[in-house]
Structure 1
Amino acid sequence: MHPPTPVNRSERAYDSDAAVRQTDSDAALARLSAVRKGYLNDRFISSLVPRAQLQPLRPPLINIGTYVRSGAIDRLVEQWLELSKSEGQLCQIISLGAGSDTRFWRLMEGPWKEQLGAYFELDFPDVTLKKAMTVRNPRNGLSAALGASELDLGGQALHSSRYHLLPCDLRKPPADIFPGLFKDHLSPALPTLLLFECVLVYMSPEASSALIEWFVDFFSPSIQISTPGTLGGMVYEMFGLEDAFGQVMMNNLRARNVSLPGAKPYPSLESLPARFLSRGFTSAKALTLRNIRSSYIGPSELERISRLEMLDEVEELNLVLEHYAITWSVMVSSSAATVSPWNEWGLRPVEHRPD
């Protein structure tokens, strides 16, 4: 038997990045499965999944988890757009580590289309190159929502009047890459929502802190703009991985060459809002997906979901949902912090239901 081929550091980094990119494929396949089983509506996801018609369905546990996650994030985004409208302003949304997300297209065919001033998607260059080619393919039906559009940076970037697909490595210093990427497209005067769906947990705490701090600085009062737009942040990720079940999750990911350096600073639900509160945000809250499923989904919707397929692994589902959380946060100017309508942004529990 031949000895193993030595692997240098750059090759290991590449392998690790490839494994992280694969997690986006997993999420896209999970969403496709949830759509096909009737949990979610998304007519665009099949365009972003290769050979979508041949992909197998996922187990009920994954379908339900995808449903809870997606529904909660949808509500937060729609509330953000609604608050922007009440303030008489257009809204900007920045999806960092966007991967195969379809949110822009779903918003563009819904009631909030005219409220969306600009939508940005950032990801690795090879991811954005693939997505740009898919979006521009007229057979996929995605390009119609863009209107006139143009490729940039050798096909890795795509620009239209509202949509901007931008290539970058989010682990690099934001001050080195963001000014050139955003150019004149991002306005510090408009309410802006940052979406981090399973991205910060794959980065070092130092890199994720630098990322958030760049946006805090960009949306802080300055000589150029005295009243910046409200800044919001939404993070979805796993946390609390030091218990027995969390260690099983970690070991499964390590077997796929995926590490979670961003999870260690956040061992508990209570620690998650600190990511934002320690960096100038005026409010923040976090809920586990188990919290959301039990108290933030209406009884009629829960009844509908329960009829879609049989769930035998209720205990396992609760354990999984207990290790994923959604955190949302707001940064408003200090003069308006106590009276700002943006303080009302967030998930609201439904009426109590007896067990």
Structure 2
Amino acid sequence: MLQEPLAGRLHSVYPDGDAAIRQTDSDAALARYSAVQKRYFTDPFIKYLVPRGAQYQPPRPPLINIGTYVRSEGVDKLVSEFFELSKQDQKQCQIVNLGAGSDSRFWRIAAGPNGGQLAAYIEIDFPEITTKKAMAIRKSRELSALLGKPEDITLSNGGTALHSPVYQLLPADMRLPPSEAMNALLALPGVDGRPLLSPSLPTLLLFECVLVYMSPEASAALMQWFVDYFAAAEEGSVLGGVVYEMFGLNDPFGKVMLNNLKARNVALPGAEPYVDIKSLAQRFLQHGFSTARALTLRDIRQFCISPEELDRISQLEMLDEVEELDLVLEHYAITWGAKIFSNVEETRVDWTKWGLKNERRT
């Protein structure tokens, strides 16, 4: 298990380790593909984004499949509720997926009931990653069809960027100062001459295994850039954030995780400030977010997934390593926060109530 952590798109502070780090995007995509094949959840689009020959890969062990499932359920629930609150607020919303890698979320949203609620979906990652994804999109009729008319889909920056009316795929190294890394966001026009990222719409930032691989200073600067971008607007809206990452790596199990990743030339500088679950909320609170909370994947599995659903997945595969599963899930967490700007105090909904719900309450 520790040879293949549940990490998604990894970002290291060591440039010479970038090749190995980018390779973990394929690991994450194959883990999701394995969970889909085992019927933990449905995702008709991931097969177009995994490496060639994925169908010949052996399935991942149950421990990885379950971890992938819990992570997906937790993030999916937060995204779905963000859409629901945006509807109640009678607004479309935007999503910025940083370190998106081979994620299929845009297509799942576009093909589902919230497709019309999405004003913009922006993905940002290393140019090597975005090039591969742009090629996969262009090759797949199923992926391209959900982006719009063929004439509305264009490539730029030597094939590292892809643009469509709603979906944008942009290359950037997020370890750089945000004034450099986020220039692509500011340079591109959106629909009807509006900014590509409108500060007047509820916006959700997704960081799935990204910030933990950056220095605390770099991740803080990136978060602050978005806060400042919305705060400077006359019609600033709600800014939400979701972080999925490892934490609490100062215990024996965590040190084993660190050593295994170090052997793969991957460092975790972003984990150092977050020694326990309580400290994770500081990721957002230090930037003036109105609310922030974190739950381990173990707690999400225990409290935020219905008993009926847990019963269903328990029948998919035999799991002998329950104690090891709990130990792994205790070292991964989902943190979420919302910043409500002063000029949206009369919003129709209470955004502070956004979050994962306890499914076990009677």
TM norm. shorter chain > 0.5: yes
Against the structure 1 CA distance between its residues 72 and 303, is the aligned structure 2 distance closer, same or farther, given a 3 Å change threshold?
Answer: same
- Tell me if the contact between 1:20 and 1:202 (Cα under 8 Å) persists in the aligned partners: no
Letter in 2 for 1:116: L
Aligned residue pairs total: 338
Superposition TM-score, scaled by structure 1 size: 0.92
Corresponding residue for residue 163 of structure 1: 167
2:314 aligned with 1:312:
no
2:100 aligned with 1:98:
yes
Match of 2:355 among 324, 346, 349: 346
Cα deviation, 1:134-192, whole Å, max 9, x if unaligned, reads 101145x2111111200011110000000000000000011123133343311111110
Letter in 2 for 1:287: L
SS in 2 for 1:98: coil
Whole-Å Cα distance in 1 between the matches of residues 183 and 85 of structure 2?
27
Whole-Å Cα distance in 2 between the matches of residues 42 and 336 of structure 1?
36
- Tell me if the contact between 2:307 and 2:360 (Cα under 8 Å) persists in the aligned partners: no
- Tell me if the contact between 2:48 and 2:140 (Cα under 8 Å) persists in the aligned partners: no
After TM superposition, the structure 1 = structure 2 runs for residues 170-189 of structure 1, keeping only pairs within 5 Å, are 170-183=174-187, 184=189, 185-189=196-200
List 4+ stretches of structure 1 deviating above 6 A.
none
Corresponding residue for residue 151 of structure 1: 155
Return the index of the structure with the highest Cα Rg: 1
Between the aligned residues of both structures, percent identity stands at 61
- Tell me if the contact between 1:239 and 1:266 (Cα under 8 Å) persists in the aligned partners: yes
Letter in 1 for 2:340: V
Corresponding residue for residue 193 of structure 2: none
2:264 aligned with 1:256:
yes
Whole-Å Cα distance in 2 between the matches of residues 71 and 300 of structure 1?
14
Corresponding residue for residue 16 of structure 1: 17
Against the structure 1 CA distance between its residues 259 and 13, is the aligned structure 2 distance closer, same or farther, given a 3 Å change threshold?
Answer: closer
Against the structure 1 CA distance between its residues 337 and 266, is the aligned structure 2 distance closer, same or farther, given a 3 Å change threshold?
Answer: farther
Structure 2: 5+ residue stretches without partners: 1-12, 190-195
Corresponding residue for residue 34 of structure 2: 33
Whole-Å Cα distance in 1 between the matches of residues 226 and 251 of structure 2?
33
Against the structure 1 CA distance between its residues 88 and 231, is the aligned structure 2 distance closer, same or farther, given a 3 Å change threshold?
Answer: same
| CA positional deviation for 1:337 | 6.2
Corresponding residue for residue 76 of structure 2: 74
Match of 1:289 among 288, 297, 318: 297
- Tell me if the contact between 1:95 and 1:194 (Cα under 8 Å) persists in the aligned partners: yes
Letter in 2 for 1:129: T
| CA positional deviation for 1:338 | 10
SS in 2 for 1:262: helix
Which of structures 1 and 2 has the larger relative contact order (alpha carbons within 8 angstroms, sep 6+)?
A: 2
SS in 2 for 1:93: strand
SS in 1 for 2:268: coil
Whole-Å Cα distance in 2 between the matches of residues 130 and 110 of structure 1?
25
Corresponding residue for residue 129 of structure 1: 131
Against the structure 1 CA distance between its residues 205 and 337, is the aligned structure 2 distance closer, same or farther, given a 3 Å change threshold?
Answer: farther
- Tell me if the contact between 1:240 and 1:267 (Cα under 8 Å) persists in the aligned partners: yes
Whole-Å Cα distance in 1 between the matches of residues 346 and 119 of structure 2?
27
2:307 aligned with 1:299:
yes
Cα deviation, 1:205-249, whole Å, max 9, x if unaligned, reads 0100000000000011x3xx3230100000000000000000111
Superposition TM-score, scaled by structure 2 size: 0.90
User: Considering only aligned residues, what root-mean-square deviation do their CA atoms show, in Å?
Assistant: 1.6
Corresponding residue for residue 6 of structure 1: none
- Tell me if the contact between 2:235 and 2:344 (Cα under 8 Å) persists in the aligned partners: no
